[in-house]
């Protein structure tokens, strides 16, 4: 009985610790361009083909759409970078796989890719872009911004609950196990909703990938592609592990006798 109790406590602790670690990595995604945060993102918007898409749509040579200066300021019409990766606190814009600049970081950052991209383009190109992309979730900044802003708080509460479940579980007291169980239940519910919102947002934003420009006889892709980042998988892994910790916490709470 004692041995079974210890096994339960041990596995619950291991599961909630795994959830917390996944969430910590999710939170540090894109906070700067050093190698670990750089490799973690909620979503990637790759605009490296947009010059060709714009050329197909306008049949005019496109000049000065991109910058190759990795440290050029963001949101100041200094030129598009090749791709943009979003984390929970902001985004980084990369000219190549290792060189980029990050935006200012804020809690509950709103994911508004269209605003961000057009603010890097020269004025005439952002007007052309407004003219070309007329309907897509991608350009619906209030919708994307509101949902990702709300999802941030759910993921944050989920993270705090995972940390509290882990800490209470370490106390090894029947009442503390009850608290751990409660935190694991609340936390996994929050993570479920937060991760679902982000996943839905990304799936809807991905509709831009099939956008076609040019005339009917010679259609071309727009050249903006959206893809899901690995931080979403971290959020789902955290949900799964925190959910799995509920049962062993519950059993520990009922059977632990000091
Ligand atoms: C961006 O998209 C282009 C094709 O449009 C592709 O060749 C390139 O590898 C992509 N870059 C990244 C970083 O995903
Ligand atoms: C790149 O941009 C930064 C910041 O605006 C500027 O200081 C630097 O001179 C630029 N570098 C080049 C090669 O243009
Ligand atoms: C990326 O760009 C930076 C600055 O333009 C350059 O120093 C670096 O060598 C490039 N890296 C790769 C992998 O192309
Ligand atoms: C980032 O913060 C600095 C200082 O607060 C401000 O001057 C700058 O405009 C901000 N940049 C953006 C892109 O919001």
Q: What is the pLDDT of residue 29?
A: 95
pLDDT tens digit string along 216-246? Answer: 788 899 999 999 999 999 999 999 999 999 9
93 lines ligand 4 (CB under 6 A): no
CA of 142 to the centre of ligand 4 (A): 21
Mean pLDDT of the chain: 93
Report residue 17: phi and psi, to 5°: -65, -45
Q: Work out which ligand 4 atom sits closest to the CA atom of 76.
A: 13
CB distance 46 to ligand 1 below 6 Å: yes
pLDDT score of 123 = 85
Contact 226, 205 (CB under 8 A): yes
Measured by CA distance, the residue closest to atom 2 of ligand 3 is 99
pLDDT greater than 80 at residue 63: yes
pLDDT in tens, 163-192: 999 999 998 888 899 999 999 999 999 999
Q: What is the pLDDT of residue 173?
A: 84
| Structural domains of the chain, with CATH | 2-255 (1.20.140.150)
Compute the distance from residue 186 Cα to the ligand 1 centre, in Å.
39
Question: CB of 145 closer than 6 A to ligand 1?
Answer: no
Helix H, strand E, coil C: the string for the chain is CHHHHHHHHHHHHHHHHHHHHHHHHHHHCCCCCCHHHHCCCCEEEECCCHHHHHHHHHCCCCCCCECCCCCCCCCCCCCECCEEEECCCCEEEECCCCCEEECCCCCCCCCCHHHHHHCCCCHHHHHHHHHHCCCCHHHCHHHHHHHHHHHHHHHHHHHHHHHHHHHHHHHCCHHHHHHHHHHHHHHHHHHHHHHHHHHHHHHHHHHHHHCEECCCCCCEECCCEEEECHHHHHHHHHHHHHHHHHHHHHHHHHHCCC
44-56: pLDDT as tens digits: 999 999 999 999 8
Tens digits of residue pLDDT in 89-141: 999 999 999 899 999 999 999 999 999 999 999 988 999 999 999 888 999 99
> Does 30 score more than 90 pLDDT?
yes
pLDDT in tens, 191-203: 999 999 999 999 9
């Amino acid at each position: 009985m004692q041995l079974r109790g210890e096994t339960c406590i041990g596995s619950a602790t291991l599961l909630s610790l795994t959830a917390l670690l996944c969430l910590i990595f999710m939170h540090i995604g894109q906070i700067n361009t050093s190698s670990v945060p750089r490799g973690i993102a909620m979503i990637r918007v790759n605009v490296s083909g947009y010059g060709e898409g714009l050329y197909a749509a306008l049949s005019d040579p496109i000049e000065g759409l991109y910058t190759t200066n990795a440290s050029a300021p963001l949101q100041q019409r200094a030129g598009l970078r090749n791709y943009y990766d979003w984390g929970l606190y902001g985004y980084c814009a990369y000219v190549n796989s290792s060189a980029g600049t990050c935006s200012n970081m804020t809690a509950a950052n709103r994911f508004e890719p269209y605003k961000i991209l057009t603010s890097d383009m020269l004025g005439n190109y952002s007007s052309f872009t407004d003219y070309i992309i007329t309907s897509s979730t991608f350009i619906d900044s209030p919708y994307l911004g509101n949902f990702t802003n709300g999802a941030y708080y759910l993921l944050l509460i989920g993270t705090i609950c995972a940390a509290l479940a882990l800490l209470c579980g370490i106390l090894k007291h029947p009442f503390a196990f009850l608290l751990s169980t409660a935190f694991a239940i609340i936390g996994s519910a929050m993570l479920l909703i937060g991760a679902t919102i982000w996943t839905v947002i990304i799936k809807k934003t991905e509709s831009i990938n099939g956008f076609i420009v040019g005339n009917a006889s010679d259609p071309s892709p727009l050249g903006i592609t959206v893809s899901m980042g690995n931080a979403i998988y971290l959020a789902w892994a955290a949900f799964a592990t925190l959910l799995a910790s509920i049962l062993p916490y519950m059993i520990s709470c009922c059977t632990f006798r000091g």
